[in-house]
Amino acid sequence: MTQLNQQQWLRYSRHYNVAQFGIHGQQQLHRARVAIVGLGGLGAPVSLYLTAAGVGHLTLIDDDIVELSNLQRQVIFREQDIGSAKVTSAATHLRHLNSDIDINFIKQRLSVHNAMNHLAGFDIVVDCSDNFATRYLINEVCHHLSSAWCYASIAQYQGQMALFKPGAACFRCVFPSVDNHAVNCRDGGVLGAVPGVMGSLQASQVIQYLSDPEQYESNRLLSFDTRSLTSSTIRLQPSKFCATCQTQPQGVEFKVQQSADDQKPRSEREPAKSTLDGYEIDPKMLDEMLRQSTVTLIDVRNRQEHQAYNIGGRLIPETEIIHFSPTFDSPSTIVLYCQSGARSTRAAVQLRQRGIAAYSLAGGLQAYCAYQLALA
Ligand SMILES: [Zn+2]
Distance 112 CA to ligand 1 centre (A): 19
Query: What confidence score (pLDDT) does residue 329 get?
Result: 61
Encode pLDDT of 139-195 as tens digits. Answer: 999 999 999 999 999 999 999 999 999 999 999 999 987 754 454 555 568 999 999
Pairing status of strand 220-225 against strand 230-235:
antiparallel
Distance 194 CA to ligand 1 centre (A): 28
Q: Are 206 and 273 in contact (CB under 8 A)?
A: no
Lowest mean pLDDT among 45-54, 199-208, 256-265, 301-310: 256-265
Distance 117 CA to ligand 1 centre (A): 22
> Which domains occur in the chain, in start order?
32-266 (3.40.50.720), 270-375 (3.40.250.10)
Q: What is the percent of the chain where pLDDT is above 90?
A: 69
333 CB-side CA count, 13 A = 18
Give the other-Cβ count within 10 Å of 319's Cβ. Answer: 11
Instruction: Tell me the CA distances in angstroms from 338 to 12, 77, 229, one per residue in order.
Output: 48, 27, 31
Distance 230 CA to ligand 1 centre (A): 27
Lowest mean pLDDT among 7-11, 177-181, 271-275, 296-300: 271-275
Beta bridge partners of 327: none
Distance 178 CA to ligand 1 centre (A): 14
User: Of 328, 297, 324, 301, which is closest to residue 313 (Cα–Cα)?
Assistant: 297
Question: Is residue 272 pLDDT above 60, yes or no?
Answer: no
Q: What average pLDDT score do residues 2-16 get?
A: 89
User: Of 354, 345, 278, 357, which is closest to residue 322 (Cα–Cα)?
Assistant: 354
The edge-to-edge listing of strands for the beta sheet with 33-37 is 102-106, 57-61, 33-37, 124-127, 148-155, 158-164, 220-225, 230-235
Average pLDDT, the chain: 88
Is 185 a residue of the active site? yes
Query: What confidence score (pLDDT) does residue 276 get?
Result: 45
Q: Which entry of 170, 185, 242, 245 is annotated as an active-site residue? A: 185
Q: Sorting pLDDT into bands at 50, 70 and 90, what band is 105?
A: very high
Q: What average pLDDT score do residues 340-361 get?
A: 90
Beta bridge partners of 235: 220
Q: Are 281 and 361 in contact (CB under 8 A)?
A: yes
Q: Sorting pLDDT into bands at 50, 70 and 90, what band is 302?
A: very high
Rounded Cα gap, residues 367 and 98, in angstroms: 36
Q: What average pLDDT score do residues 242-263 get?
A: 59
Distance 247 CA to ligand 1 centre (A): 9
User: At CA 217, angle to CA 216 and CA 220, rounded to 5?
Assistant: 140
> Which residues place a Cβ less than 5 A from the ion ligand 1?
170, 172-173, 242, 244-245
Distance 236 CA to ligand 1 centre (A): 10
Q: List all residues 6 or more positions away from 265 whose beta carbon is below 8 Å from its beta carbon.
A: 63, 64, 65, 109
Query: What confidence score (pLDDT) does residue 1 get?
Result: 67
Query: What confidence score (pLDDT) does residue 333 get?
Result: 87
What 3-state DSSP class applies to 354?
A: coil
Query: What confidence score (pLDDT) does residue 292 get?
Result: 85
